[in-house]
Amino acid sequence: MEMKAPRGTMDILPPESERWRRVAERGTALFRAYGYREIILPIMEYTEVFARGIGQGTDIVQKEMFTFADKSGRSLTLRPEATAGVARAFVQHHLDKAGLPVKLYYQGPMFRHERPQAGRYRQFRQLGVELIGSPHPSADAEVIMVCNEFFSMLGIETDLVINSVGDGDCRPAYIDALKEYLAVNKASLCKDCRRRAVENPLRVLDCKVESCARVIAGAPGLEAFLCEVCRQHYHEVAELLQAASIPFRRDDRLVRGLDYYTRTVYEFQDPQAGAQNALAAGGRYDKLVEELGGKPMPATGFSIGMERVMLAGPRLEESEDAGVYVVAIGEAARGRAFLAANRLRSAGIRADLDHMQRSPKAQMREADRGGFACSVIVGEDEMAGGYYTLRDMREGGQERVEESGLVETVRQRLELRQAAPGKRGMGEDGR
Ligand code: HAM
């Protein structure tokens, strides 16, 4: 039997995995610059965390969770998203005690049993940020700003679409109006939406089926139903975004596939992508912490979908860490080459060497193929004289380096290379 990764999952192999790592590192460095600190959560939770947090009537909870019983029969679920887990941890560890707001970020795999297609997987990675404790529009604007900055830093063009879904005071009237409208148009809805129209009418607005899209286009919008407090909140978020020169479009039928949202919701959409066009999405969720057993606690945040970001082609500079390859000429030199590589590595320099008994020429080819900026050559002369030959793999120049100066000289040469990246090429003698 041919063994393959499960449907909807994928292996990310080098060198692509290095691009992923660099995108994630740039994102998390950005989050830290805005004062967010990392929270590392379990990838499974008791099922009720998601059932209560995300909402019983959502597609995620009804159809998409990987749920199983542990040996005692208790129901566990692989996390379909991380916000509910963050809120659960916030309550469990009384994170509000250290002062508000609590600003957290996370990264890692999420699991949803969806029909796989381009940009939609059953295991996917998210980077996300949650700001817990502030009800103010500046908190919404800050997280949107962080997300916006993430995409501009990577040169990815996005359309930011925002809306307000109101709160417990004004949303019920909207839902009634929507229900009424959907009941009249029931015949044109897909099978799922006929059920949603009764159980959870807001979810109909998410449906991508063509006949439903036509019904949705004529549905009442949320904005007209907002109460004064929600309207003012929405207005202030929009003003702050304008002041920060962040372009956005309002869409008063934008809702999200999770029930915990209150007031602000938004998506960063890829203008070039098809159906799975949300590169990141988020919003305010003022009731979630309370729903999971905590005190009333306003909060807001977003998650970025890494697979979709990588498909959008993030702009990254040339590899920043070119490293050094240690070449042994002759069997006798292998031991010294091995020690030299280890010394360089202990000093934090990326170093590699041959484990395949290759000829010196083939080792040089490896150094070139692996993208190393320099090679350190150990041969008979070097052994006898107690020095190394350091070769610049791009320019081809060589210099003699004393034993005691190896680490420092290599470090300096690598720093110079990083400052002025050039073409790589082997010397004519193959050395
Ligand atoms: P979400 O809209 O369900 O929100 O997911 C956020 C992002 O994760 C999406 O915009 C998309 O880029 C990516 N994503 C979702 N499902 C898949 C999938 N099956 N395959 C690939 N990528 C996917 C949340 O998860 C909320 N927790 C966001 C949030 C944080 N709200 C407040 N704080």
Residue 75's closest CA among 108, 39, 45?
Answer: 45
Split at pLDDT 50, 70, 90, the class of 428 is very low
pLDDT at 426 over 90: no
- Nearest atom in ligand 1 to 80's CA: 25
Residues with CB under 6 A from ligand 1: 81-83, 112, 114, 119-121, 124, 126, 128, 130, 256-258, 278-283, 285, 301-303, 305, 307-308
Tens-place pLDDT, residues 277-331: 999 999 999 999 999 999 999 999 999 999 999 999 999 876 656 899 999 999 9
Residue 133's closest CA among 82, 185, 97, 81?
Answer: 97
- Nearest atom in ligand 1 to 280's CA: 10
Structure tokens at 369: 């193929």
Which stretch of 145-149, 216-220, 226-230, 274-278 has the lowest confidence by average pLDDT? 274-278
pLDDT in the model for residue 429: 41
Q: What is the percentage of the chain residues whose pLDDT exceeds 70?
A: 96
Tens-place pLDDT, residues 157-212: 999 999 999 999 999 999 999 999 999 999 999 999 999 999 889 989 988 888 99
Nearest CA to ligand 1 atom 31: 282
pLDDT in the model for residue 319: 60
The pLDDT of 339-358, averaged and rounded, is: 97
How far, CA to CA in Å, does 71 sit from each of 68, 207, 326? 10, 37, 52
pLDDT at 419 over 90: no
The pLDDT of 222-237, averaged and rounded, is: 97
pLDDT in the model for residue 348: 95
**Residue 280 C-alpha to ligand 1 middle, in angstroms?**
6
How far, CA to CA in Å, does 246 sit from each of 34, 234, 273? 17, 15, 21
Structure tokens at 363: 């080792």
> What domains are there in the chain, each with its CATH number?
16-170+226-311 (3.30.930.10), 324-419 (3.40.50.800)
Pocket test residue of 120, 126, 132 for ligand 1, highest count of atoms within 8 A of CB:
126
Within a 13 Å sphere around the CA of 168, how many CA atoms are in the beta-carbon half? 5
pLDDT at 430 over 60: no
**Residue 252 C-alpha to ligand 1 middle, in angstroms?**
20
Identify the three-state secondary structure at position 37. Answer: strand
Pocket test residue of 63, 124, 258, 303 for ligand 1, highest count of atoms within 8 A of CB:
303
**Residue 81 C-alpha to ligand 1 middle, in angstroms?**
7
In terms of DSSP bridges, do strands 37-38 and 102-111 run parallel, antiparallel, or are they unpaired? parallel
pLDDT in the model for residue 228: 97
**What percentage of the chain's residues is helix, strand, coil (to nearest 5)?**
40, 20, 40
Q: Which residue has the tokens 């240690």?
A: 326
Q: What is the 3 state secondary structure string of 140-209?
A: HHHHHHHHHHHHHHCCCCCEEEEEECCCCCCHHHHHHHHHHHHHHCHHHCCHHHHHHHHHCHHHHHHCCC
- Inter-axis angle of helices 191-199 and 171-184, to 10 degrees? 140
**Residue 213 C-alpha to ligand 1 middle, in angstroms?**
21
